[in-house]
Amino acid sequence: MKKYIFALSMAFACVFSAQASLVFENAVVRTTPPGQANTAAYMTIKNTSNKDIHLTKVSSDESIKTEFHTHNWENGMAKMQKLASLTIPANQSVELKSGGMHLMLFKLNPGWQKEHCVIFMLHDKDNNAYKVMAEIKDITSSKHSDHSHH
């Protein structure tokens, strides 16, 4: 029994030490008009370690599927593209933002916008896990959303 508890606490220690090398800031999930099943999440990810970190897996508690995405401009049109992984270079930050790289959430749970936050689990190439809490926020440009109320 003692052995088991020791193994368990070691497992937690691993998760925490891994989490320390990435800092997640300003994590938000964009609210959507009713009936829309997909949305995007944005955040700044800071790598405080001396090694590049390659994030290879992402999931959330409010969507069936979550992917790393970027935007490519083709003939003046922004097209979303799935990324196999997201690299956070050593001692640098990567900003996921509107019009750039983002997390894409597919098939959201009905009523997800009534929650306060969305919990993301990210895994890197070495299978370290990172937990991120993102605030649910209306981040459409204010002028635009005013218009749709008329």
Binding residues for Cu ion (CB under 5 A): 69, 80, 104
Closer residue to Cu ion (CB): 45 or 69: 69
Instruction: Write down the least CB distance from residue 130 to Cu ion, Å.
Output: 20
CA distance 65 to 105: 6
Q: Please report, for residues 4, 39, 61, 81, 114, the alpha-carbon distance to residue 106 in angstroms, rounded to integers and kept in the order given.
A: 38, 7, 11, 14, 17
Instruction: Write down the least CB distance from residue 86 to Cu ion, Å.
Output: 13
Instruction: Write down the least CB distance from residue 102 to Cu ion, Å.
Output: 6
Question: Which of 134, 148, 94, 143 lies closest to 83, judged by CA?
Answer: 94
Instruction: Write down the least CB distance from residue 104 to Cu ion, Å.
Output: 4
Reduced to 3 states (helix: H, G, I; strand: E, B; else coil), residue 28 is strand
CA distance 124 to 94: 15
6, containing H or E segment: helix 2-19
Closer residue to Cu ion (CB): 80 or 119: 80
Closer residue to Cu ion (CB): 21 or 66: 66
Closer residue to Cu ion (CB): 24 or 69: 69
